[in-house]
Amino acid sequence: MRLIIGITGSTGVLYGIRMLEVLKKLGIETHLVMSEWAEKCIGMETDYDLDSVKSLATSVSDEKNMASSISSGTHKIDGMVVAPCSMKTLSAIANGYDDTLVARAAGVTIKESRKLILMVRETPLSAIHLENMLKLSRLGVVILPPVTEFYTKPKTIDDIVNHGVGKCLDQFDLEHNLYPRWGSS
C-alpha cells in the first residue's frame, strides 16, 4: 500500500506524526508533504524536530514542489490522509485551488477516485467550513475530525491521538491495536 500523508498548519500536528509512526511500523510506503505552518506547529506543539518527522516517511516533497510525483494522477497511490487539515487547506481542496502541493495532491486523489481522508481541525465550525465539508463529502471524501471518544476511557493524550489515527487506518482496512474496539473486552 502507498499513501500520501499531508500535514497542515492547524493544531494537532501530532495526529500526522503518529500516523507516520504507525504506518512505518506497518511497512506502508508513505509520501509526506507538510505546509509551512505545519512545520511551525511541530516546533510549537511537540518535542519532535523536522528531520525526525521527515525520517518517518518513505519520501518527502516540499509543499512548493508542484513537479513532485504526487502532483500527477499517473503516480499510483492508494489514498491520502491530511492530518490535521486546516480550514485553509479544506477550502483550497473544496474549490480546486491547487496553490500548494497538499491541495494539488488532494485534488489529484479526488480526480483519480482514490480515498481521501481529511482530519479537519477547527471549532466552532462556520457555515463556510460546513459547506466546504459537505461539498467534499458529496464527492466521496471522508471527513474525519479527530473527535475524542470516552468509552475507551482514555488516560493520556496518546490514547486520544491513537484513537483518531486508528479511525483513519480503519478507512484503509489496515489492522491495528491502537484502541479497543466497541464490545471487546
The pLDDT score that the predictor gives to residue 182 is 85
Q: Residues 146-168: what's their mean pLDDT?
A: 94
Summarised one tens digit per residue, pLDDT across range 12-52 is 999 999 999 999 999 999 999 999 999 999 999 999 999 99
Sign of CA dihedral 30, 31, 37, 42: positive
Beta-carbon contacts of 49 under 8 Å, excluding residues fewer than 6 positions away, are 42, 43
Beta-sheet strands, E only, within the chain = 2-7, 29-34, 59-62, 79-85, 115-120, 142-143
Which phi-psi region, left, alpha or beta, contains residue 173 (left: φ > 0; alpha: ψ -120 to 50)? left
The pLDDT score that the predictor gives to residue 152 is 87
Flag whether 181 is in a domain.
Answer: no
Flag whether 182 is in a domain.
Answer: no
Beta-carbon contacts of 27 under 8 Å, excluding residues fewer than 6 positions away, are none
pLDDT of 97 higher than 80 = yes
pLDDT of 185 higher than 70 = no
Q: Residues 123-137: what's their mean pLDDT?
A: 97
Summarised one tens digit per residue, pLDDT across range 54-73 is 999 999 999 999 999 999 99
pLDDT of 184 higher than 80 = no
Flag whether 179 is in a domain.
Answer: no
Count of structural domains, the chain: 1
Q: Residues 147-166: what's their mean pLDDT?
A: 94
Q: Residues 160-185: what's their mean pLDDT?
A: 93
Flag whether 114 is in a domain.
Answer: yes
Q: What is the CATH number of the domain that holds 130?
A: 3.40.50.1950
Domain with 62 in it: 2-149
Flag whether 113 is in a domain.
Answer: yes
pLDDT of 159 higher than 70 = yes
The pLDDT score that the predictor gives to residue 83 is 98
Flag whether 156 is in a domain.
Answer: no
